[in-house]
Amino acid sequence: MKTLIAVRGVSNRGKSTSIKLAYQLLRKEYPEAIFDKLFIGVKDISLIVKINGVKIGIESQGDPGSRIFESLKLFQERNCRIIVCATRSRGKTTQAVSNLAKKYRITWIEKDVESESKKQNVRNKETADFIMSIIRKELQ
């Protein structure tokens, strides 16, 4: 079954940052990967990565009214076996991910706030490492 990794939380919890860190780890660990960069910005990214024939869709925008809805559709159309995305804690973005439960095994990663920025940076890195551990497993 295909895999969807959804980083979930309210605004400003480090969801996008964690996903971008995972993207950087992916680039470093798989230099042979082919990157189809749909959007690479300062705050958000949207792309499809191909590693050993496996397509991974990555979308860091998960707010209502953002590109998440179009990206999920595109990733399915492009036959991504793995999707990594951000969502809010509840509402339309979470429902959009939940609607894919018949096609994708969903792993929800909860993002909580840390009061200190150093702790938040550590938590974002831990989340990125966890995302990478799932991707590595799926690529085996």
| DSSP letter, residue 38 | E
Q: Model confidence over 63-89: pLDDT tens digits?
A: 998 999 999 999 999 999 999 999 999
Q: Model confidence over 109-133: pLDDT tens digits?
A: 999 877 788 888 999 999 999 999 9
* Confidence at residue 39, expressed as pLDDT on a 0 to 100 scale: 86
State how far the Cα of 39 lies from the Cα of 103, in Å rounded to an integer. 25
Percentage of the chain surpassing pLDDT 90? 81
The CATH number for 2-139, chosen from 3.90.105, 1.10.3470, 2.60.120, 3.40.50, is 3.40.50
Task: Tell me which of 12 and 1 has the higher pLDDT.
Answer: 1
Q: Model confidence over 49-66: pLDDT tens digits?
A: 999 999 999 999 999 989
Averaged pLDDT score across all residues of the chain: 94
Q: Look at residues 114, 99, 89, 96 and name the one whose alpha carbon lies nearest to residue 7.
A: 89
* Confidence at residue 42, expressed as pLDDT on a 0 to 100 scale: 80
State how far the Cα of 56 lies from the Cα of 127, in Å rounded to an integer. 17
With 90 as the cut, is the pLDDT of residue 137 above it? yes
